[in-house]
Amino acid sequence: MAPPQSGDGGGAAGDLLETGLLAASAVKEDEDAGKTTTSGRLADEQGTATTSSRVRRGARHVAAQLQEVFLGTRLFPLFAAVPLAVAAQHLRLGRAWVFVFSLIGLAPLAERVSFLSEHIADTAGPTAGGILNATCGNVPELIIALFALHKEKMEILKWSLLGSILSNLLLVLGSSLLCGGLANTGKERPLDRRQADVSIGLLMLGVLCHILPLLSKYTNGTGDGISSSGSVLELSRLSAIVMLTAYFGGLIFQLKTHRQIFEQEDSSESGSTSGNDDSSSVIGFASAVIWLIGMTVVIAVLSNYVVTTIEEASESLGIPLRFISIILLPIVGNAAEHAGAIIFAFKNKIDITLGIALGSATQISLLVVPIILIVSWVNGIPMDLDLNLLETGSLVMTVFTTAFTLQDDKWHYLKGFNLTLCYVVIAVCFFTIKALPTPKKVHA
């Protein structure tokens, strides 16, 4: 048997080596492909986990905001009246039910608007933030007034704005002084008269602009009712321009030239109190703006229901329309100011309480009223500043009583008790008085 050739053996060995290298290379490629697939799968899983984690965090953040907005107030059970009002309107359950549910639903919405405006106002400083807070607090009154103007319900429009001023000066301020005085008997801090004097002076101007149209009716010697009404209308429109000028002059005084008068007390106290609240709050600036817009839309819907059904509800419930407009509507609209003023009075921070009550009343008198009158002027709707004799007398006595109450730097529960009783007397008066005949409309 012949031995194998050396060339054949070398070729076979080379083939085996090449086959082994190819096999090893294939195994390595398979391993690399497997690693690539595994790493891609892990990356996909990580991306999915990251997305789901973001979704969970977003959901938790939204749930926390919902809890803070709706459950963060003691009035949260009243939110149930909002869908009930909408259901009563669409199911035609009766005008009285629509009015009652709408009125109840406005209370927590007004309080939450003030709460959200505080978050927005934190970036504006104490004085500017307080003005912004008062502006947002008057949103319900402004919206109700605009709807009443659109439907040309002039008496309801005037009564609701008058009632807001009376409520802020007598009920909000009076109950705050009463509760704060009882809680801090013997420890009352002196109040800063400078802030009160500025607001009282502006309110006196507003009272004058309401008195003159009323008096001009009795001093016009022509005997022509249409001519007299025309002069009252012209005087009211010119007075509205003066009132707006006075309000913006007061803003320049507070925010620019004499801001130290209004911020020296608030900067230390309100900053320390609001800092603790903001650190635990989950609502930022953008979220507060979005929530505020949504709340305003809902307030507009309910305000339309209130204005539409108030007359039928007055007849069904047996409550005078004047009492509902002057007393009930402002109490609901001023829920935010009322709660905030009492809380600060309990904490013996009476200057902040004065800023809330007097600031809101001043803004209604010198900003909201003339704006509504100018809007009616532009739209050709006759509206004047004549509130009739009884209403004007109530306004005059309210401003003078508040001025005398705050004439010194002392405060105690008896002053608040007197203011609250004054509001009770006015409420009883408007509840018992009979309706006046509807005046004739005078076109511009």
Instruction: Give pLDDT tens digits for 255-289.
Output: 778 777 666 454 444 444 444 444 456 677 777 77
**Mean pLDDT of all residues in 94-119:** 84
Ranked by mean pLDDT, which of 72-86, 134-148, 159-173, 333-347 comes out on top?
A: 159-173
Banded model confidence at residue 162, pLDDT cuts 50, 70, 90 = very high
pLDDT for res 291: 82
* Closest-CA residue to 376 (of 143, 148, 210, 203): 148
The reply to whether 243 falls in a domain is: yes
The reply to whether 22 falls in a domain is: no
8 A C-beta contact, residue 231 and residue 220:
yes
Mean of per-residue pLDDT scores for the chain: 79
Give long-range contacts, CB 8 A cutoff, 24+ apart: 88-97: 89/305, 94/316, 95/309, 95/312, 95/313, 95/316, 96/309, 96/312, 96/313, 96/316, 96/317
pLDDT for res 19: 57
The reply to whether 427 falls in a domain is: yes
Indicate if the pLDDT at residue 36 is higher than 80: no
The reply to whether 11 falls in a domain is: no
The reply to whether 84 falls in a domain is: yes
In the numeric block, which tokens belong to residue 389?
């004799």
pLDDT for res 63: 79
State the CATH number of the domain containing residue 421. Answer: 1.20.1420.30
Report the predicted TM-score, pTM, of the whole model to 2 decimal places. 0.78
Banded model confidence at residue 350, pLDDT cuts 50, 70, 90 = confident
Banded model confidence at residue 38, pLDDT cuts 50, 70, 90 = low
Residue 185 has what DSSP assignment?
Answer: T
211-245 burial code (b ≥16 CB/10 A, e <16):
bbbbebeeebeeeeeeebbbbbbebbbebbeebbe
CA–CA distance, 433 with 436 (Å, rounded to integer): 9
Residue 441 φ then ψ, to 5°? -80, 140
∠ CA(386), CA(307), CA(162), 5° rounding? 30
First to last CA, the chain: 136
Which one is predicted more confidently, 410 or 82?
82
Q: Is 346 exposed, middle or buried (0-12, 13-18, 19+ CB in 10 A)?
A: middle
pLDDT for res 184: 81
Residue pLDDT, tens place only, 387-400: 889 999 999 999 99
pLDDT for res 289: 79
Banded model confidence at residue 326, pLDDT cuts 50, 70, 90 = very high
∠ CA(111), CA(183), CA(267), 5° rounding? 60
Range of the domain at 182: 75-262+283-432
* Closest-CA residue to 390 (of 440, 425, 442, 366): 425
CA–CA distance, 298 with 304 (Å, rounded to integer): 10
The reply to whether 357 falls in a domain is: yes
Question: For 117-184, where are the E strands, in sequence order?
Answer: none
Residue 139's CB is within 10 A of a number of other CB atoms, namely 22
pLDDT for res 196: 85
Banded model confidence at residue 50, pLDDT cuts 50, 70, 90 = confident
What sign does the dihedral 108-203-155-423 (CA atoms) show? positive
Banded model confidence at residue 437, pLDDT cuts 50, 70, 90 = very low
8 A C-beta contact, residue 282 and residue 64:
yes
Indicate if the pLDDT at residue 322 is higher than 50: yes
Which one is predicted more confidently, 261 or 410?
410
The reply to whether 442 falls in a domain is: no
The reply to whether 121 falls in a domain is: yes
Residue pLDDT, tens place only, 360-376: 899 999 999 999 999 99
pLDDT for res 43: 58
**Mean pLDDT of all residues in 328-343:** 81
CA–CA distance, 251 with 199 (Å, rounded to integer): 11
* Closest-CA residue to 334 (of 188, 109, 167, 184): 167
pLDDT for res 71: 78
pLDDT for res 160: 92
Banded model confidence at residue 123, pLDDT cuts 50, 70, 90 = low
8 A C-beta contact, residue 324 and residue 314:
yes
8 A C-beta contact, residue 204 and residue 434:
no
pLDDT for res 159: 93
pLDDT for res 121: 63
Structural domain total, the chain? 1
Percent of the chain with pLDDT over 90: 28
Residue pLDDT, tens place only, 182-233: 888 877 777 778 878 889 999 999 999 999 999 888 776 555 555 567 788 9
pLDDT for res 275: 42
